């Protein structure tokens, strides 16, 4: 009996022990394995989600590029039914207009308020900075104002702040848009442009009024940051001035009813704006001749402009701009001193339907200009009835009282016969966007003249014979930054060595809502 009880309790003990061991295994062993499996499953799930998101982003980028290409193809293949067609106008503006021209107003202005019941809106506010570094076999004296005659060119070995331009564009109502551009450099600040433009005149008319760059040629109306090359074209520095031809005045534009995009510009501006109108009424006349007058006496003393610009779509991928220009006004050599400047220009742009954000592209641009400068006969004041006492009135630039330190330039002591001074030149440049963000090109220039300069034409840096060859490499990290590497080979009569080799590296950064570069 006792053995039976022991057997029963032994069996019960073994059963309880087995149950406890089984419970422990179920509690600890399987739970640990489940945790590992759960963690592993979560990691795999997150990896799958990451892969899905990456694929979705790639598909989205691919789709965006396809939509951009399709939009470009549709825009290029649409044929305008008339000159007033918006598609034709947009295409022409895209091909010929400078990047700084007024763009359609954004939906939300940067700033707006109401003054006297009139809404004021600031549409664009931006700052564009240009800085260059370089080296040349020419000296700084030969570079500044001679080889590099542009007011915003790099002009020295080492570093040059070409400019920083603050631009403001705003609208006051549906009828007028205002625009102002202020330049900052190591020499201080200056107002480059400040004008208003009408936006809703009938019959294809448009009026600009204020201080503005003259719409002569292709490059003169552009600000330096919109140039393809680093420096100003030689022929423009000579005929239109280092700062570009600009002056207060008014310009009327007319979009004609011809069966292609054809626009006529008529303008009238002051001719006596000093360095901004160097071929007209200025204290520094052409060829070193004395300045006799700079005042405006009648409407005949204003500077007048005529420009006719035409655009055609040669193919759905190629556009052509042809322009002709005429300028006329008085010069400061005397009462019968007159200046005529005239020329022609063209711009050919190719861009395929399957371009990616403007690349690839090809741009070929050329301008040819000529100046006829009728210089009056000069008689020294000692040989005039008024005598030397009238020198300060007739020749303020050479009068000792004109200079603060009393060191006025001496007047020529001998008569200078009247003469027609003829100067001409051209540039042609080709730029090829061969890969997204990259472009390369070359520019060729020539300028020359006829007629004597005081001291000899061959020693006059603004009239002597001159050639320039300029290869260029451009990299655009984005539409709002640009690096340009340019080499200049100059051959000029006024150089002691006859030629010079120069390399420039220019960097540009654009801040704000200024229209981005077009390609």
Q: Structural domain boundaries of the chain?
A: 86-286+302-377+422-512
Q: Which long-range contacts (CB under 8 A, 24 or more apart) does 380-386 make?
A: 380/411, 380/412, 380/413, 380/414, 380/415, 381/411, 382/413, 383/415
Q: How far is CA 437 from CA 68, 96, 223, 371, 473, in A?
A: 17, 21, 22, 39, 11
Backbone phi and psi for residue 441, each to the nearest 5 degrees, phi listed first: -165, -175
Sequence-ordered list of residues with C-beta below 8 angstroms from that of 52, at least 6 positions apart, any chain: none
Sequence-ordered list of residues with C-beta below 8 angstroms from that of 448, at least 6 positions apart, any chain: 423, 424, 425, 464, 465, 466
Q: Over its length of 519 residues, how does the chain's per-residue pLDDT go in tens digits?
A: 444 444 444 544 555 455 444 444 444 444 444 444 555 556 666 666 677 777 777 677 777 777 666 666 665 554 443 334 444 444 444 444 333 333 334 445 555 555 555 555 656 788 999 999 999 999 999 999 999 999 999 999 999 999 999 998 888 778 899 999 999 988 889 999 999 999 889 999 999 999 999 999 999 999 999 999 999 999 999 999 999 999 999 999 999 999 999 999 999 999 999 999 999 999 999 999 999 889 999 999 999 999 999 999 999 999 999 999 999 999 999 989 999 999 999 999 999 999 999 999 999 999 999 999 999 998 877 665 554 433 333 444 333 333 333 334 566 667 888 999 999 999 999 999 999 999 999 999 999 999 999 889 999 999 999 999 999 999 999 889 999 999 999 999 999 999 999 999 999 999 876 554 554
pLDDT at residue 104, rounded to an integer: 39
pLDDT at residue 34, rounded to an integer: 44
Rounded to two decimals, what is the model's pTM? Answer: 0.74
Q: Which CATH architecture has domain 86-286+302-377+422-512?
A: Beta Barrel (2.40)
pLDDT at residue 112, rounded to an integer: 59
Nearest Cα neighbor of 227 from 89, 365, 425, 324 is 365
pLDDT at residue 408, rounded to an integer: 45
- How far is Cα 422 from Cα 399, in angstroms, rounded to an integer? 29
């Amino acid at each position: 009996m006792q053995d039976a009880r022991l057997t029963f309790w032994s069996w019960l003990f073994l059963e309880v022990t087995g149950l406890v061991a089984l419970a422990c295994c179920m509690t600890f062993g399987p739970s640990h394995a489940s945790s590992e499996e759960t963690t592993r499953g979560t990691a795999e799930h997150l990896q799958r989600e990451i892969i899905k998101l990456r694929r979705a982003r790639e598909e989205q980028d691919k789709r965006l590029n396809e939509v951009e290409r399709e939009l470009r193809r549709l825009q290029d293949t649409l044929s305008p039914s008339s000159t007033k067609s918006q598609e034709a106008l947009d295409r022409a503006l895209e091909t010929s207009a400078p990047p700084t021209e007024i763009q359609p107003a954004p939906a939300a202005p940067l700033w707006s308020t109401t003054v006297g019941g009139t809404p004021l809106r600031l549409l664009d506010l931006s700052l564009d900075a240009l800085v260059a570094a370089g080296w040349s076999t020419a000296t700084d004296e030969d570079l500044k104002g001679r080889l590099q005659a542009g007011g915003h060119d790099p002009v020295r070995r080492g570093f040059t702040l070409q400019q920083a331009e603050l631009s403001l564009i705003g609208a006051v109502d549906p009828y007028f848009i205002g625009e102002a551009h202020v330049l900052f450099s190591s020499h201080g600040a200056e107002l480059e442009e400040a004008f208003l433009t009408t936006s809703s005149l009938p019959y294809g008319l448009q009026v600009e009024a204020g201080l503005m760059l003259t719409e002569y040629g292709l490059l003169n109306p552009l600000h330096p940051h919109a140039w393809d090359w680093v420096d100003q074209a030689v022929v423009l520095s000579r005929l239109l001035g280092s700062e570009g031809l600009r002056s207060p005045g008014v310009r009327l534009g007319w979009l004609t009813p011809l069966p292609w995009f054809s626009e006529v510009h008529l303008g009238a501006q002051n001719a006596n704006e000093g360095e901004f109108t160097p071929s007209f009424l200025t204290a520094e006349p052409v060829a070193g001749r004395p300045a006799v007058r700079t005042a405006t006496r009648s409407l005949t003393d204003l500077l007048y402009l005529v420009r006719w610009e035409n655009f055609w779509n040669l193919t759905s991928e190629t556009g052509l701009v042809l322009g002709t220009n005429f300028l006329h006004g008085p010069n400061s050599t005397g009462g019968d001193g007159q200046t005529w400047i005239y020329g022609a220009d063209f711009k050919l742009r190719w861009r395929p339907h399957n371009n990616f954000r403007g690349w690839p592209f090809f741009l070929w641009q050329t301008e040819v200009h000529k100046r006829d400068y009728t210089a009056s006969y000069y008689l020294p004041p000692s040989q005039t009835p008024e005598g030397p006492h009238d020198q300060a009135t007739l020749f303020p630039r050479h009068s000792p009282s004109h200079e603060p330190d009393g060191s006025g330039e001496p007047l020529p002591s001998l008569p200078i016969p009247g003469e027609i001074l003829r100067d001409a030149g051209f540039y042609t440049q080709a730029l090829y966007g061969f890969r997204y963000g990259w472009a390369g090109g070359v520019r060729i220039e020539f300028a020359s003249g006829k007629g004597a300069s005081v001291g000899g034409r061959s020693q006059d840096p603004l009239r002597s014979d001159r050639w320039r060859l300029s290869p260029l490499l451009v990299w655009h990290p984005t539409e709002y930054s640009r690096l340009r590497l340019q080499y200049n080979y100059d051959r000029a009569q006024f150089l002691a060595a006859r030629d010079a080799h120069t390399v420039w590296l220019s960097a540009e950064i654009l801040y704000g809502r200024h229209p981005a570069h077009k390609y």
